Amino acid sequence: MVLVTGDELLTAADKGKYAVGAFNVNNMEILQAVVTAAEGERSPVIIAATEGAIKYAGIEYIKSMAYTAAEKSDVPMALHLDHGKDIDMIKKCIEYGFTSVMIDASAMPLEENIAETRKVVDIAHPAGVSVEAELGRLKGVEDNVSVAERDAILVNPKEAERFVMETEVNSLAPAVGTSHGAFKFKGKPELDFDRLAETKRLTGVPLVLHGASSVPEYITEKASKYGAKLPGAKGVPEEQVKRAIGLGVCKVNIDTDLRLSLTAAVREVLAENPEVFDPRKILGPARDAINDVVKYKMKLLGSSGKA
């Protein structure tokens, strides 16, 4: 099968009230784990690569691996640039055949974010590539934060309405209280669901939940048992991810849970088998562990059986 656009996957998810997982890949094992899970679950999938992943693996390798995966597979998948910040890199990804790009100009003031995003849409759309953009800051928001501070960090739904109208992006990532990484909340996790629902109502586009890893205890416990130091690690509870999907989230970004499961598996192999030095015996179990996590996520997101 050829790679499909992000828009094709998200429009179907929006209609069907489920979300497609966007899983960050940095090497062959992670990519294979993600794609095999999609095949096993009969699920559409988004292969996400950040600028950091591209720097690490090389754009030729990322592109070739994703194209090989798509050719060998019969589930629909998109190749997506995650958190693109550099227009030259975005252009390069489009040239290399990415089918979806994110322009993350969320650190800029609104007018500049609109102008930058519009520039990317004008390059991507004629090439048949979908565009995702971001509004607000991906930062955990605690209960004790004032309304003014909250408003300064999280998405403003009225601004989102204008943003989508003027930029014509295909999808929008609104900041609603999640953040990247394994330490998302100091206190009780609680996303701003009212803001999310209002953003959906006013924009009408598929929404994207970044920072959606749940940081499952069984994984952090295993990693810690074998020496990892992750005190205070906390993610988005699974019920909250599901609730967000019910309110219009059609793409859920997961990286941290894959990183944690890889780390736990590698630590376990090395600790339990000190004689092992064959990379296949170290990275093979990590690939299996990621595969299990991705299959589980696909069921949670409701994308299983949708391919």
Q: Minimal distance in Å, beta carbon 261 to ligand G3H?
A: 14
Which lies closer to Zn ion via its Cβ, residue 24 or residue 304? 24
Q: Which residue out of 82, 104, 192, 257 is catalytically annotated?
A: 82
Q: Minimal distance in Å, beta carbon 82 to ligand 13P?
A: 5
Over 52-102, what HEC string results? Answer: HHHHHHCHHHHHHHHHHHHHHCCCCEEEEEEEECCHHHHHHHHHCCCCEEE
Question: Which residues, 6 or more positions from 98, have their beta carbon under 8 angstroms from its beta carbon?
Answer: 63, 79, 80, 81, 129
Q: Does 210 engage in binding with ligand 13P (CB under 6 A)?
A: yes
Which lies closer to ligand 13P via its Cβ, residue 54 or residue 269? 54
Q: Minimal distance in Å, beta carbon 110 to ligand G3H?
A: 22
Per-residue binding string, ligand 13P, 90-129, x by CB under 6 A, is: ----------------------------------------
Task: Confirm if 80 and 102 have CB atoms less than 8 A apart.
Answer: yes
Which lies closer to ligand G3H via its Cβ, residue 136 or residue 157? 136
* Binding residues among 77-96 for ligand G3H as defined by CB under 6 A: 82-83
C-alpha closest to that of 88 among 61, 68, 64, 59:
59
Assigned token pair, 152: 């300064």
Interface pick for ligand 13P out of 26, 43, 100, 213 (rule CB under 6 A): 213
Which lies closer to ligand G3H via its Cβ, residue 27 or residue 224? 27
End-to-end C-alpha distance for the chain, whole angstroms:
12
User: Is 82 labeled as catalytic in the residue annotation?
Assistant: yes
C-alpha closest to that of 62 among 80, 45, 77:
80
Half-sphere exposure of 185 (CA within 13 A, CB side): 22
- CB neighbourhood size of 95 (10 A): 11
Task: Confirm if 283 and 31 have CB atoms less than 8 A apart.
Answer: no
Q: Does 7 engage in binding with ligand 13P (CB under 6 A)?
A: no
**Which residues share a beta bridge with 171?**
132
Element (H, E) at 45: strand 45-50
Q: Minimal distance in Å, beta carbon 24 to ligand G3H?
A: 6
Per-residue binding string, ligand G3H, 126-145, x by CB under 6 A, is: --------------------
Q: Does 50 engage in binding with ligand G3H (CB under 6 A)?
A: yes
Binding site for Zn ion (CB under 5 A): 210, 253
Q: Minimal distance in Å, beta carbon 221 to ligand G3H?
A: 21
Beta strands in the chain (DSSP E): 20-24, 45-50, 77-84, 100-103, 130-135, 171-174, 207-209, 249-254
58 interface partner picked from Zn ion, ligand G3H, ligand 13P, none, CB below 5 to 8 A per type: none
> Which parts of this chain interact with ligand G3H (CB under 6 A)?
24, 50, 52-53, 82-83, 180, 255
> Which parts of this chain interact with ligand 13P (CB under 6 A)?
24, 82-83, 180-181, 210-213, 253-257
Active site (catalytic) residues: 82
